Structure 1
Amino acid sequence: MSEATVPIDVRLLNLTTSVLVSVAVLVGIAAMLWWAIHNPAFSIRGVTVLGDVAHNSAVSLRNVVVPQLKGNFFTLDLDAAKRAFETAPWVRRAVVQREFPNRLKVTLQEHEPVAHWGGQLTQMVNKQGEVFEASGEGAEYDALPVLIGPEGQASTLLATYGRLAPHVAPMQLQLKELELLPRGSWRAELNNGAEIALGRGTEEELEARLDLLSKTAPQIAARHQRAAKDIVLADMRYPGAYALKLRGVTTVGDDVKLAPKPAARAAPRPATRSAPASNRRN
């Protein structure tokens, strides 16, 4: 029987039935969603913590982070949960996943500190050159260098430190502190307390200045019955030379200047023939 031959009242009845069935299905889905949202069985009851947990435990995270989470298994905003976990001390990155019916699985990546930042004990720099808030107190962090510089320059200081540190090793000393001053000059401090004024320049120029210091300062110190560990101050801002101050040496100004190498001696000029006596001025 074609649709044209079906009585109009039958078609209306079929349409009404389809609409009622659709409405019933939608109402059923809505009821199930309401039940799921409000059923306490789906409230977040536990957190499984994986990954780096040297500075955070499941207990501490549950106490600090879980109270900030809003919603249950179905309605929890995973991005908001991720941000909440990343506010915990030492946490660099968090991956949050649901575990049916009422748990979360969190995988943490912690910061790996490689330096202190700003000379304070409240900020550190990780190996990616990022500054993060953390207490740097403790014997395990005492050996870390200190980086000081303008905001946003931590990665630059870390990279420069990595290039300069090996150049003081020949003096049996370590680069303890590196500072980038507001006007672009560099200042360093060694583990014996010596201050090194490096001045401005490219990384290659700074490396060359430290190489000059490492190769010649021990020789200068030896002339005064001292060693490299007795260096108090080295000013590397002189062109091709530097000023050195040694502990306990009372030379004039306690400064010694040394050029990297003497300039090559000019070749002697050929002797000029003297003029005849008749051509000389009286």
Structure 2
Amino acid sequence: MTATKRSKGATKRRQPLPVRKWAGYFVKFVGVAAGIMALWVVTVLISDVQWRPLAVTQYALTSPLVYQEETQLDDVLQGYMGKSLFFLDLLELNARLEALPWVRQSSVLKTWPGKLTVTLTEHEPVAFWNGEDVLNSEGIPLSRPMAELKLASLQGPENQSAYVMENYLQFAKIFREQNVIVEKVAMRSRGSWSITLRSGIEIFLGEKEVLERSRRVVKFMNSNVFGLDNIKYIDARYPNGVAVKLQDENSLEVKNDIAA
């Protein structure tokens, strides 16, 4: 009986399951999940805790305020008390201070360990505007400041504040030659100008060549023909002269040939 021969080919060995590999993945997953959970727990626990190293406790002005209301300044700065001096945004703070009505420029310095040193430059008031506001040196209307002011009163179209102020400054300079103070300047909607002096004399200049006409008025006043105390108003809307209304008379006295 012939014996059956077995094949001598290689027998494929069965691979063991990758238990260690998957166990390693599982451990890593559990570790990451635990870390995320721990971070979340810590975040929840300290969410109401504010870390404020070197908290701001006070502030000081380098010079006293003249026009800006101090309570408005306090309202802004009090919002920064208790905040960390490290993380305080000076750009934001300066912008908020410069948004106050009479603060032109702000500079805040951090003074260790917990103080803000505030330097403010205020707007310069020039004249009252339309009975409500005050013009600054740029002719911008601002709300009336806290200080009591003695300024000239200007009137004109709302969009002409800078132009009216510019002419007022010219008028004030011209009449200063006569040691006279300009109290009021008005520009009507159609462009006609009038001036009122502190003495009460009203001056009508019309629409054209108003600076030249104001110089003509000053020359007439220097002549003192009627006496300034006796004049009610001066009308300079004539080509080469002025008309004068006296306090005690109904008629006009016309003075011609007055060069500008």
TM-score by length of 2: 0.68
Deviations 1:64-119 (A, max 9, x none): 32455599337766565445434545323334455677554433221222222223
Structure 1 residue 214: Cα displacement: 1.3
Give the Cα separation in 2 of the matches to 1:62 and 1:211: 45
| Uncovered stretches (5+) of structure 2, i.e. residues with no partner | 1-20
Partner of 1:272: none
Partner of 1:117: 129
Greater gyration radius? 2
Give the Cα separation in 2 of the matches to 1:185 and 1:153: 13
**Aligned: 1:54 with 2:65:** yes
Partner of 1:94: 106
Partner of 1:145: 152
DSSP 3-state at the match of 1:38: coil
Partner of 2:239: 239
Distance 1:191 1:58, change over 3 A: closer
Structure 1 residue 233: Cα displacement: 0.8
Give the Cα separation in 1 of the matches to 2:79 and 2:180: 48
Give the Cα separation in 1 of the matches to 2:73 and 2:191: 46
2:120 to 108, 123, 132: 108
DSSP 3-state at the match of 1:171: coil
Distance 1:217 1:62, change over 3 A: closer
Structure 1 residue 189: Cα displacement: 1.0
Partner of 1:131: 141
Distance 1:146 1:57, change over 3 A: closer
Give the Cα separation in 2 of the matches to 1:213 and 1:71: 63
Give the Cα separation in 2 of the matches to 1:137 and 1:253: 44
For the Cα contact (< 8 Å) 1:198–1:235, is it kept in 2?
yes
TM-score by length of 1: 0.63
Give the Cα separation in 1 of the matches to 2:238 and 2:69: 57
Give the Cα separation in 1 of the matches to 2:245 and 2:103: 44
Distance 1:63 1:163, change over 3 A: closer
| Structure with the larger helix share | 1
Greater length-normalized contact order (CA 8 Å, ≥ 6 residues apart): 2
Structure 1 residue 135: Cα displacement: 3.7
> Identity rate of aligned residues, in percent?
26
Partner of 1:258: 256
Give the Cα separation in 1 of the matches to 2:69 and 2:83: 19
Distance 1:77 1:167, change over 3 A: same
Distance 1:46 1:164, change over 3 A: same
| Uncovered stretches (5+) of structure 1, i.e. residues with no partner | 1-8, 262-282
Number of residues paired by the alignment?
A: 240
DSSP 3-state at the match of 1:216: helix
Partner of 2:217: 213
The one-letter code sitting in structure 2 at the alignment partner of 1:232 is K
Distance 1:178 1:56, change over 3 A: closer
Give the Cα separation in 1 of the matches to 2:57 and 2:67: 16
Structure 1 residue 209: Cα displacement: 0.5
The one-letter code sitting in structure 2 at the alignment partner of 1:156 is Y
Partner of 2:15: none
